[in-house]
Each structure stands twice: as structure tokens, then as C-alpha cells.
Amino acid sequence: MSFLYPLGLLGLIGIPILIIIYIIKNKYTEQTVSSTYIWTLSEKFLKRKNPINKLAGIISLILQILIVLFLSFGIAHPVFTMPGMAERYTFIIDCSGSMRISDGEGTRFDAAKSAMTDMVNSSVEGSTYTFISVGNVTTVYEETTDKDRVLTMLSQAKLGYTQADFDDALSNAQEIFDANPSVKTYLFTDKDFEQHDNVEVVNVAADASGENYAVYSVSESIDDEGLVTGSVISFEGAAELTVRLTVNTAGTPFTAEQNVSVAGALVEAPFSFDCSSVGDYSEYTVEILQSDSLPDDNGVTVYSVASENSYEVLIVSGDAGEGSGFYLENLLISTGIADVTYLSEDDYTAAYLREGVAPAAPSGYGLYVFDCFNPQVLPDDGTVWLIGLDSALPDASFSVQGDVTLDFDAPVEYSDSTSTTVRQILDGLVMGDMYVHTYIKCSPYRNYTTLISYSGNPLVFTTQTAHGNREVVFAFSLAQSDAPVTADMIMLVYNLIEYSFPAVVDDALYSCGDTALINIAANTDSVRVESPSGKISYLDNSLPTGEVLLDETGTYKIITTTAGTSRTYRIYSAFPIEESNTTQTGTAFLLTGEKTDEGYDGVYDDLLILVIILAVLFLADWVVYCYEQYQLR
């Protein structure tokens, strides 16, 4: 036996003190009476010769000594060694999405935690515990002998939505088993592992699971066919389900419901909603109205990528443009991702280039197109297209050397660079129908990429403004060129629009566990990611793309901030359909090696018995006191 806090034994000093106090306070009162004859005689008339009566005088002292004794021991916290009684445990708990299924009062995860808690509490003190939680990532907690600690670890384990990485958990458990073959390994899961050598699988899936339905798939063709289609599935048997579609539009939301019959377990049942009356939408939700044992997989929300990535465009066309501005405006509108504002040279000058006032620049647009017009100052946000600019700009990244007119229409040269940017911008061009007659000789000097050139002179190139924004330069006037009517030019403009408006999210619907790719535009100040549970993280804005691991079900918000302006993009992480299955069969989860039954020294340090003894002693002391008072009455 040892003590956790040996200083507590100092309390034993209280025993002699108690005895001294008792002796001092419990002196017999000396008194002289006329005769002790009757007193002495009365001894013969005492009815009960209870031996306890002989102790009655000191029973209170005995009780109080015992109280001090046990109290001191309690404070010192004795620890008894129990040879060979302790074990080493490895507890692996499945945190996959299917553990969210509620078979009865609680989820399977709750049942697993309860089973593990019972096991920990019933184990002998001094046992060693290693706790591993298996979700989309495996977390191996530090080994401990403290029951409370391991239960705290258990409470900290987060139930995920994705599939569990059992391979990783197995390799960790194997490592522990190899180091100590006597370890007892328990796996708390809802999967029925057929092979589990050296592992005791605690299956927390109830025999009779509740019904579970899920939206199996969903897709839309609202623009083309005016349809939202998909399928639902039941995991336990045939079911009559009601599916509701809600489409959020600029006007009144569109809602429709449809009854779907599911023929049997694991059989898909399709649905189709006619949405021909719906125009542009921001999002739509498909949900099953029947409640079941897992609500997370009963609905899917799909956000419109186009709606998420829409931008405002400002076109300023100089007088020399002669209609090219109108041409650009229609091209941009036709993409469906841009709201175009058109300003004439006079309007722009009146607004930003007033006489006697320093030139200013507009802001708040995603793209600025200056066609045959020099704004003198470039905006500090958004992408800039500079078309047919015959004079230099301080913020631009090129110098202008003047017009060059050829004697004949010469074919342009397309860049054969293999860079991704070049290939994306020139993607789809036939590369042969564009000619140049008059161009402006420019000399870019800052990180430029030539797309189209003539005789070494860049005709279309990309670079960056002094503010770090993307800049596209056309070194010729569209109005004085045949280029606008060429297929290459139209395709080039489309590609440049995509280049100018890098879609932050390419897809708005993912399955939980997927990784969403986030495009990060240059000059983006921050990219903040908010998970459905409110967890916030930031992406590295120095990289062109960032990755977001979708480990929760629901809507993720991607908030980009550029020059003080924030935009919010939403993507939906759907519950993984494979985790919706109420009956899952795992593969093998076995530990290789020969298990031994080596025991370890356990300890017993429960103070409950001491507390009970102390309570009984206190009670007994109180009873004795009351009895004495009654006797003396």
C-alpha cells in the first residue's frame, strides 16, 4: 500500500490531541455524598449487564479516533496494489457517419461511448488505456492509466460524417499490439467485421434498426430542360416517400412535392420535377419529408455555381471605339455571369476625370473594360481589360511606342507556350482566322504572358496592374480590326472572361469527405472557410488554389475578401450515401501475432469505501452523543 498524498497522514497527530482533549474534558466530577451505600448497592440492580456499557465511557472517543484515522487515510489517499489484476486496453471507436444512426434512444455512437465507459469503469485501477478514434482521420490519444483521463478523451472524440479509415486505425492498433501482445483490443463499431483476430468487436448496431431513407442522387437541367431529377433510396425495405423540391429564385421560391415508391431495400427510386417555370436560381433543395433514424441524409441543397460566381462589369468605351463597346457588352452578357454597366467617355470623364481634381478610379466591379479610352488611373480592385490604348498608363505594366500599320493583313501568331494559363485561354481557338493590319506597339515590362503576337510584338497579352490585379491588354482597336467577327476572337473573349473571373468554386455539390478545390484570385486578401458547425479556417491566399476538406455535412461558406470587398460562395457537403446504410459489413480487422495473457499490477484507490466508513462513523458518533444526552436526561 502506498499513499498519493502522504502528507495527509499528518492528520494522525489529531489522535493524541483528541485523547488529551478527551482526558481533559471528560474528567469525572468529584463529589461527596452522605453515603455511597445505595449507589454501590444499585450496581446489583442494573438490569442489563451489557458489556458495551463498559465501553460506553470511551466509545465516543473510540469513534472519534477512528474518524480521525480514516479521515487522515482518506486525505492521504491510500493506493493498494493488486498483483496481476490489471490489463492493457486499446479502445478503438468508430466515428464514421453511420454511427449517427439512431437505433433507439440514442445514436450508435452514444451506445459505443456508453459501452466503452462501462468497460473502463469496470476495469481494475492501474490498467493502461490507449484510445483511438477512427473517422476520416485516425486520432491516437496518449496512453494513460487514468480512467477519468481516458473518459475525457472519449468525450472529446468527435463523431464524423465520413467513412472511417480503419486501415490507419488497424496499423496503429497493430503497432501497439506488436509492442505488447497482452493488450486487449476492443473495437466499438456498427460494422460487422467477419474477421477480427485478437480484436473483440463490440457491435453497437441494434438488431432491428429503424428505417432510413436518403437522397441518393440529384441533378438539374433547369436552363435546358427545366428539370430537377434524382433518386431516393431506402435501406431497410419498401417505402412510400414524399420528396419536396424547393428552388430559391429572385422572385417567389418554387416548391413542389412528389410521392415516390421505393420497391425495396437498397433499390433506387427516381423522381423528376418540372421546373420549366423557373428561371435563374440561386439554390434548390431536395428533401425527403418522412422522418427516419438518420436525418442528415434526408436532404441535399445545391447552389448555382453561376449564381455564386456572378460579377459586375464596367465598360467604358472611348469615342474612337466606334461600336466595339456594344460588341463587348453583348459578349459579356451572353456569358450569363456578368451584369454589365456601360459608360461613355463623356460620362466617365464627368464622373472621374473632372478638371482641377485629381483623376479618380471607379471601384466595386469585378471587371473594368477600357476600350480605346485611357482612364489615367486604374481601379485598385477587379480585373482590367485595356483595349486599343494608344497612350501609356502609370498603373499599367507596359509602355506604348505608337501605332504600326502594315501594308497588308498579316496572320497573327498564337503562343505555343505549354503553360496552363496560356492553354486555358487559347483553348478552343482554331488559330488561323485572325489577321492584323494596324496594331499598337507595346512593351510589357511586368510578368506578362503573350497570347497572340505579330512579328514578336505582343498583340494580346496578360500581365498585372500596379495594384496586383489581372490585366489583359489588346494592342489593337477592335473597331479598326476584323477580329470581332472571327471565331477565334469570340472564343478568345470567352476564355478571357473565364480568366478574368476565376470561379472561386467550380462545383457547389460535394459528398462529405471530398476535398473542394477553391480558386484564389490574385490580390485576394483572405479566404475564409466556415464549416456548417461554425468552424472557421483560412486558406493560404498566396497560392492560386486552396483545398477544403469537407468533413461535415451541410453548407460551407467560402468568404473571399479583396480590397475590402467580401464575397460569399456556398458549397454543399452531402452526407455520404455509403454511410447511410444501416447494415454495413466491414472487411477484416485483425491483428497479426500471438496474444499473451500477461497481467499487470493493478491498484485500488477508490475512496468510496472510506467515505462510507467515515459517514457511518460520523453517524454512530452522533447516535452515541444523542444516546448519552438521552441517558443523562
One-letter amino acid of 389: L
By C-beta, is 53 or 545 nearer to another protein? 53
By C-beta, is 58 or 306 nearer to another protein? 58
Question: Could you please report the per-residue DSSP string of 93-156?
Answer: EE-SGGGG-BSSSSBHHHHHHHHHHHHHHHSPTT-EEEEEEESSSEEEPPPBS-HHHHHHHHHH
By C-beta, is 27 or 608 nearer to another protein? 27
Tell me if 632 contacts another protein by CB under 8 A: yes
Which residue from 41, 52, 208, 608 is in contact with another protein, where contact means CB under 8 A?
Answer: 41
CB of 53 to another protein, least distance (A): 8
CB of 127 to another protein, least distance (A): 52
By C-beta, is 44 or 597 nearer to another protein? 44
- Asked if 577 and 234 count as a contact pair (C-beta separation under 8 A), the reply is no
Site map (CB under 8 A) of another protein, residues 232-271, x = contact? ----------------------------------------
With CB under 8 A as the contact rule, which of the stretches 34-42, 156-164, 483-491, 609-617 interacts with another protein? 34-42
Tell me if 62 contacts another protein by CB under 8 A: no
By C-beta, is 7 or 632 nearer to another protein? 632
Which residue from 1, 13, 26, 194 is in contact with another protein, where contact means CB under 8 A?
Answer: 26
Tell me if 45 contacts another protein by CB under 8 A: yes
With CB under 8 A as the contact rule, which of the stretches 20-28, 95-103, 193-201, 225-233 interacts with another protein? 20-28
382: left (phi over 0), alpha (psi -120 to 50) or beta: left
Q: Cα-flanking dihedrals φ and ψ of residue 43, to 5°?
A: -55, -35
CB of 44 to another protein, least distance (A): 7
Question: Could you please report the per-residue DSSP string of 376-400?
Answer: SS--SSSEEEEES--S--SSSSEEE
Quick one: cell of 53?
A: 456499557
Tell me if 49 contacts another protein by CB under 8 A: no
Which residue from 24, 34, 122, 592 is in contact with another protein, where contact means CB under 8 A?
Answer: 34
Tell me if 24 contacts another protein by CB under 8 A: no
Binding-site residue total for another protein (CB under 8 A)?
31
By C-beta, is 46 or 357 nearer to another protein? 46
Tell me if 43 contacts another protein by CB under 8 A: yes
CB of 623 to another protein, least distance (A): 15
Residue 218 DSSP SS3: strand
With CB under 8 A as the contact rule, which of the stretches 41-49, 208-216, 509-517, 535-543 interacts with another protein? 41-49
Q: Which of 198, 245, 237 is nearest to 220 (CA)?
A: 245
- Asked if 135 and 164 count as a contact pair (C-beta separation under 8 A), the reply is yes
Where are any strands of DSSP class E within 263-350? 268-274, 281-288, 299-303, 311-317, 338-344
Distance (Å, whole) CA 208 – CA 103: 8
Tell me if 48 contacts another protein by CB under 8 A: yes
Sign of CA dihedral 274, 279, 280, 285: negative
Distance (Å, whole) CA 464 – CA 468: 5
The Cα angle at residue 521 between residues 520 and 523, in degrees rounded to 5? 115
CB of 36 to another protein, least distance (A): 4
Quick one: cell of 165?
A: 479509415
One-letter amino acid of 295: P
CB of 30 to another protein, least distance (A): 5
- Asked if 63 and 70 count as a contact pair (C-beta separation under 8 A), the reply is no
Q: Which of 120, 139, 136, 138 is nearest to 128 (CA)?
A: 120
By C-beta, is 43 or 105 nearer to another protein? 43
CB of 630 to another protein, least distance (A): 7
Tell me if 52 contacts another protein by CB under 8 A: no
By C-beta, is 34 or 418 nearer to another protein? 34
Residue 583 exposure: Cα atoms within 13 Å on the Cβ side: 11
Contact positions vs another protein (CB under 8 A): 26-48, 53, 56-57, 628, 630-633
